[in-house]
Structure 1
Amino acid sequence: MRAVAVRAFRADPEVIHVPKPEPGPGEVLVKIEYAALNPFDWQVAEGFFDGRVPHVFPLVLGVDFAGRVDVVGPGEHRFVVGDAVYGQAGRTPLGTGTFAEYVIMPQDAAIAGVPDGLALRAAAALPTAGMTALQILRAGVALEPGDSLLVVGAAGGIGSALTQLAAARDLRVVAAVRGDERERMGALGAEFTVDTTEESVREACRRAFPGGLDAVVDLASADPESFAAHAALLRPGGTALSTRSAAPPGRGVNFQLRADGALLEALADAAGAGQVHMPVEGEYPLEKAPEALARNRAGGARGKTLFVP
């Protein structure tokens, strides 16, 4: 089968041919119809996780997908051939990814059925960004309707999903972005949008919420100093959370996604209820994946990139 892979860390991604996998006990083989790009994908290719988790080469990239069950392995199973499914193929060893024609998924992993009414194209854009946003609101920050939430880096995939899901819970969302995104973020549910190239987040938030914010979710800051500047905008007792491990010990929460099928099912329910959708920036064949990975690494994404095997 065709797949997008690197032959070594920091090598250029390329389209190669690898054997079509066969499912074992408790696994399904999914024929991929759409795979979605995440920053995690180029981070894996660059070796960010070398020494932390095992890898296999050639290392097939990608984790998010939607497709249909093609083969069911031996044993008990949740799915049958032809089922529409979506999920996140982030298990170790890294390198058996979704930028390919097929992927193997354990049936007890982060895979769930796609409900009627949700297109596979829309489902493929949801898993990593949507599960992260949903789990942050479920377990990362304790908020009530009417509470204020600052989302730093709100224009990307996680930020877009988080803004929508928070607005659906009647939270007052402040979206901090680079560039004029007031119209788009407002359509996603943000009450305020701050263009950080024109105004400081501190000044805008102090003006709108002089008593401090109830929570901050920082999706952008990679260093403790930048994270601390955003956390300083909290009211006493507020929560600051980082998705980039920038929170110093005792001064915030460093969030890590714990993906599973139940979370995907809840996300699908939210999507079906119209509470979240991921805007798609572009749709490309696998041959365009190397260029798309380079663009994503440069930053500035305003929606999800999908690949069609």
Structure 2
Amino acid sequence: MSDASSDVLVETAVDVPSGLPARIPTPQPGDPRLARLSLNQRTTANWSLREAIDGTVAAGLGSIGLWREPVAEVGLATAVEWVRASGVRVSSLCRGGFFTAADPTARRAAHDDNVRAIEEAAALGARTLVLVPGGLPEGSKDLAGARARAAEAIAALAPVAKRHGVVLGIEPMNPIFAADRGVVSTLGQALDIAEQFPADEVGVVVDTFHLWWEPAVEEQIMRASDRIVSYQVCDWITPLPADTLLSRGMMGDGHIDFPGFTSAVTAAGYTGDVEVEIFNADVWAAPGAAVLATLARRYLELVEPWLGAAGLDTVRPRA
């Protein structure tokens, strides 16, 4: 692309959801800088699985992060067929977890569902199953007990995951979600659990939205080292919406230092895919192709230059 055509592209392209002019040109499919960029399905929640796969291919992204619900809608066999035919990697499958019920029957049901999730991840060629630990049972204030039950549940699943070639990725969540969905709030807490198991069985998910606030997070990222199984990026925007689950923003629209955070993840040795995962009503309302164009531009501007050269030839192939 000539400099002149690039200038036109910058002037005419518009970022979503801000509506502001794009700051850099939109990368074209085949741009090697997109090799590690992954679309997490929730970023384009208005797209079906078929549309998400096709959009990922059209934008030239290297991989996609899938969610179990859209996979179930079309059936696992069909989803596997579509993924294989597309040639894209599945960077992760979301989600397993929700381990913290007080009732033993409910915990057994959660275990069985997580076994199915591991099997689905293996079939799709996803090396990582993302685990959301779960919140406090109704009426409970026993945070430590809920966290202990999550660790026990992971211990029961680890050998199952190993047999299927899947690594369990514990996702620590911002403390605002501790009561209802994530009793593991810091990377340090996630590592305290993960380090009880071999690194090829249990790792951690590093998500900028959840961890940007954590004191000494750089030191915890270095501690994570070979246990980082997924790096997810999006921004923290203010004011927070009424539904805080939808408070994730496009990179560059909020408060997170992506160059600094990405440099720490790179220094820890992470060479895998980088998923953009955004829960945001305005992003979801925008055309999917415009969302992908914006996230690709922001990724090249704020994330990719700090990934370093390592990883481009070691990104895991699809099984």
TM-score, normalising length from structure 1?
A: 0.27
| Structure (1/2) with the larger helix percentage | 2
| Structure (1/2) with the larger strand percentage | 1
TM-score, normalising length from structure 2?
A: 0.26
